[in-house]
Amino acid sequence: MSQSVSQIVRGIIDDLSDGVSELVLIVVIMAEQNAEVPEQLPPAAATVNQTANTLASIARELARTDYVEFEEIVTEIEESATAVDGATNTMAKAINVLQGTGDRKSGWNGLVDACRIMSGKTIRLLQIVYGADLKRLQMTADQLLDSISGVVSPTRHVTRPDKQKFVEDVQGVTGRALKLANFVDSKANDVESPFTRDLLKKIAKDLQDATNEVVDLGNKALQDPGTWGSAFDDRLAALKKKIAEAKQAVENSETTAPMEKLTKLLPLIEAAMAEAKEVPTVVHSKPADYQKQEKAVKDTVQDVIRKIQPNPKRKRDVERLEQSLADQLLAARNGLKSGGKPSSPEGKKLQDSTKALLDALAALKKRGDPEREITPAQKNDFQAALANLRKTGNLITQPADKEQQKYEEVKDGLAGLKNSAKEGNAPVIPQQLRNLVNNVRDLSDQMNRNAQDPHSGQTPWQRQRKAEAAADMEKTLPGLVQKTKEALPLNNPEKVNDMLSAIRRVQRAAERGGRPQDEQQMRDVWADIQKAMQKARNGAKNGNQAEVDDALKTLQNALKNLRSAADRRAGQLPDPSKIDGISEELQALFDKFAHKAQDGAKGDQAANNDIDRNIVPAINDAWKRLDDAAHASAIAPIQEIENLIDDVQAAVDTGDATRLAPAAKQLIEKVNALPSHIESLPDPRAREQARKHVEALQPLIRDLITKARDSVRNPDDSKLVDDSAHAAEALRAPLAHLKHAIDPNSYDRPTEGAGADTKRALAELREALKSGDTERVRAALANLKAAMDRYNGVASEAADNYGKTDPKKKNVVDDALKNLREVATDVNCLQNKPTDVERIKEVMDSVTDALNNVSDSQKNSTKDDTIKAAALANNLLASLAGFNADDMDLGDLLGAAGQLSDLLRGLMGDSTKLARSLGTDPANLSPVAKAALELDRLLLSLEGGEPEPEPVEQVTAQVETLNIELAPIQLTGPVIQDIHFQNVDLASAVTFEDVSAAVAYDLHQKAKAVSSEADQVALELSNLSKFARSGDRQNLLMAAKAAAAHIQAYCRKLTELAKAIPCRNDRERRQQDLLLKTAQGLRDYATQLKILAAVKAATIEDSKDTDATLASLTRNLGGLLSQGLTAMAITQTTMINRK
């Protein structure tokens, strides 16, 4: 046949969908009126039947010709085509019955049901036929890969039968490979996008060339296996890679996978979420239906588990789902026994367990389909985007910022190594370890340089601490390397935990030098500032220009150090201007001071007098107000104690007994001095609350020092090292509450206190494990889970507060909290496995890291996050360069990179403050901001199924901040008023009515600034939701038809825009490809929407299957519409509409 399958199907699909929609509309109207049969009904039904039968005939012909070698496809087509024949016969009979003399109402109901059956069977056949080309290619590729695995190397052939089998095997492989190349080439002719067409053509040619090379080397190896055998093996391995690339490329070229989506992971998750959400409602309102609902939720969750279970990377997800499901069902049964009241303790437990199950499913949904692998093209695109983004590093020039970047690289590398160890991903560990060793050494070198620089602006305490941390990293790193080698290939849980313990030693060493202590930093930097000011004043009065210059240099760097800490504290206040305003005032005063000091050194006595009488008093007053706002002097002594706790643990981590006694002595002295400091606080409320926390310190100090002493006596015992570390964390809990008592209004203080309590619960769990008492371990796990739940509540409230002024910071915190909730589910799972000691230790490690990640996400400023993004980009580039395709799937890549957009929030909008903190001109941020936008676009295209791009109305505003002069986007119609839309949260929507309302609302918010056509689609989707909810079947059909028509208009706009792109470079060609693929996918979805809406309208009773299918389709449709809007906005603003 000259046409491809998809071209044949699309040739009849519009007629069929229109005919079905029109027929069902007529039937519904007439049935509701119980009217006489109109003249146009029988011909309309006959036309639809004829079209459906034509599709069945074409399908059977394809089964007999194109797919005859593929029994599975043939069977599916034959069965579905037969079902369509039966449905059309049923339709014809229903028409005859209706035209007879029987009961008309019954006749109409029969015809409505016949319409439903015919529509459902037809769309099933469409699904099979439309996906047959792709399935044929996939099956061919899979068979090929299996065949290649069975080819024995020619170097092993010794007898004639072996050689004969070799010939047959190679002929079979190469014959199928050439057939696959033809399939790919045929697919290339069927795509609209020039970029995709050229890519598939090239892949087909490469596959053909690789096949011919295998044939050539196979013949040579047959004659001389010693010379050519190894070369043949290499070429066969290369062919295997080409086959996998071809399969992936064709899958990526698919604009939609229409109803096949229902067998993929996303719809399975959505179905499970829908059933889980229903359980509390059934328990409370319909207890008689509970057994049916329990079976439904068990079946749908098990479907998800079966889908992900073969992938070892989803082992933890499986455990979380199994535990969460068991918890929900137990809570539901207990709720039934107690009467099912939502307000009862049992009802509350059911609500909590339901949320936990929904969270586990949502987390899996975010990670994506584990079967999707990174293609070479995706990997190259991502590397290119990261390379552009890494230009952020060019802006990091200050020594302290360079150190911070290296610190973030080390933190990220340690986290990656931990995750690989816990997931059993042994192949990637050697590369991760190599990268980490280099990063640790770079960080150590940078810390030493900063420690030796008296003009760095850092306090003597900071410089000393960095020198010590650098030395400690050098001491602990060899132990990590050795323990990692011993743990590989990760088949011994005890050795894996020894490796994790070694990672934690390096981690603590890096944190001692890299973790900021903002209040102590502010207090001590202020002391250095006073010294530098005095030196400058003396130099000015003595006419010593060199002394003034030296003092001002120190003063300038010290002020940067002060402001970096002040910026972080400002971000924790409900009103950041209380600190930011004073920081700006101090900056202006110091600028004035520097100017006057220079004049004074030249003999201007009036300038010196102005410094003494006006400027210095004003600076002192500003500092006093800044100190009060940040509580720096009040909290700094507490942080000194925290630093000494670090020093005690440092002695343990390095096995240096000589450091322990001095550190312990200083710790005891500082704690003994704390009561007098507390009594000096001006706030009586703070004094009263602080006293009880001070009393809790003494027994915890004794416990830490005892465990630290035991450990340094046995430095190779990782269990004793961990005992000491947990005792140190327990000691921090009262200190965190002390800081909260002094500073009750900052957002991070309650979270810090709750985090310290959770770490204390970890220490109690560790003691329980040492006891070997199973019930004590179980109780300690329950206590830890309760502490994590409290922490989540406190931190979530803080995240909401951040969102009031900085939505992207809220995103960063929320992502960290989602990870924490996943770990909390792991803890919950382990309550039923209290004897699994090694797994419990793994999860305990994850708890600590999750808490620290939330803390970092809260405290980091925009500058900190920008530096962190540069570090992540560096690490990702290094990882992508070193990993094979099998080592990382698409979910890994998206998970690692998805946070970059939020971390780079300082590049969007007003970037003046970020530029100032980095010590650069705001204009220098533009190239990096452009790279951030490009990365957003790339991530959006990689995510595929359900993208959540930036609000489109912000895209133009963002690009304008990059100093690009743009022409405005021209709308073709009026903006639809918001009153027509219902604000429904898409993330929590489950039913078709809620999903379509949520998609409509989100789409309208994005479309109203970019596309009138897409806005009209949003309106009709909103109508679709409204009419489905009210049961208005006539208007439901009309809304679906109108939505489909507006989607087609929107597709024409996308296609016109794509053809207007100049295609001057690879980026523009890819953008054109994205627009064209989006348009094609939307056209297919529009057709499906009409047919599925007809199925729903013709369904007399509610059908969960129909509604779930429609909900999935609408969600995917919304994602593709949003993707088109973002691509449209970026294209118009960056490629076409420049003035």
Asked if residues 567 and 916 have their Cβ atoms less than 8 Å apart, the reply is no
For the purposes of burial, counting CB atoms within 10 Å of the CB of 546, is it exposed (0-12), middle (13-18) or buried (19 or more)?
A: exposed
For the purposes of burial, counting CB atoms within 10 Å of the CB of 72, is it exposed (0-12), middle (13-18) or buried (19 or more)?
A: exposed
Whole-angstrom Cα distance, residue 72 to residue 1001? 42
DSSP-derived 3-state class of residue 965: coil
Whole-angstrom Cα distance, residue 509 to residue 507? 5
Strand partners, 935: none
Cα angle for residues 996, 1002, 1006 (degrees, 5° grid): 140
Strand partners, 889: 373
Whole-angstrom Cα distance, residue 479 to residue 374? 34
Asked if residues 915 and 366 have their Cβ atoms less than 8 Å apart, the reply is no
DSSP symbol at 904: T
Task: Render pLDDT for 1013-1055 as a digit per residue (tens, 0 to 9).
Answer: 999 999 999 999 999 888 888 888 889 888 988 999 999 999 9
Q: Which of 171, 176, 205 is nearest to 188 (CA)?
A: 205
* pLDDT mean values, one per 10 residues, the chain (1139 residues): 54 70 79 82 85 85 86 88 88 85 81 80 77 82 83 70 81 90 85 84 91 90 84 87 82 56 64 90 90 90 81 75 88 86 85 85 66 56 64 67 90 91 86 91 92 79 90 95 92 90 94 88 92 94 93 89 89 89 93 94 94 95 95 95 95 94 95 94 91 90 94 90 92 92 91 92 92 93 93 90 80 84 86 87 91 89 80 74 51 54 50 50 52 54 42 39 41 79 81 90 86 91 91 87 90 90 78 85 84 77 70 84 81 59
User: What count of other Cβ atoms lies within 10 Å of the Cβ of residue 595?
Assistant: 12
What H or E segment, with its residue span, contains residue 168?
helix 160-188
Q: What is the pLDDT of residue 260?
A: 40
Asked if residues 251 and 180 have their Cβ atoms less than 8 Å apart, the reply is no
Rg (CA), the chain: 34
User: What count of other Cβ atoms lies within 10 Å of the Cβ of residue 506?
Assistant: 25
Q: What is the pLDDT of residue 2?
A: 46
Whole-angstrom Cα distance, residue 670 to residue 643? 11
The single-letter code of the amino acid at 659 is: R
Asked if residues 554 and 560 have their Cβ atoms less than 8 Å apart, the reply is no
- The count of C-alpha atoms lying within 13 angstroms of the C-alpha of 321, restricted to the half-sphere facing its C-beta, is 27
Whole-angstrom Cα distance, residue 307 to residue 310? 7
Strands, E, within 858-900: which ranges? none
Asked if residues 986 and 978 have their Cβ atoms less than 8 Å apart, the reply is no
Q: Which of 759, 936, 776, 917 is nearest to 844 (CA)?
A: 759
Whole-angstrom Cα distance, residue 842 to residue 319? 14
Whole-angstrom Cα distance, residue 1094 to residue 503? 59
Whole-angstrom Cα distance, residue 129 to residue 302? 29
Q: Say if residue 1062 is preceded by a cis peptide, omega within 30 of 0.
A: no
User: What count of other Cβ atoms lies within 10 Å of the Cβ of residue 924?
Assistant: 14
Strand partners, 966: 1138
Q: What is the pLDDT of residue 896?
A: 52
Q: Is the dihedral of CA 360, 363, 369, 370 positive or negative?
A: negative
Helices (H), 65-159: 71-99, 104-130, 132-149
Asked if residues 97 and 89 have their Cβ atoms less than 8 Å apart, the reply is no
* For helices 1012-1030 and 992-1007, angle between their N-to-C axes, nearest 10 degrees: 160
DSSP-derived 3-state class of residue 889: strand
Residue in the block written with tokens 């540069």: 870
Task: Render pLDDT for 942-978 as a digit per residue (tens, 0 to 9).
Answer: 444 333 333 434 433 433 333 333 344 566 667 788 8
Whole-angstrom Cα distance, residue 174 to residue 217? 12
For the purposes of burial, counting CB atoms within 10 Å of the CB of 237, is it exposed (0-12), middle (13-18) or buried (19 or more)?
A: exposed
Phi/psi region, residue 458 (left: phi>0; alpha: psi -120 to 50; beta: rest), is beta
Cα angle for residues 775, 779, 781 (degrees, 5° grid): 115
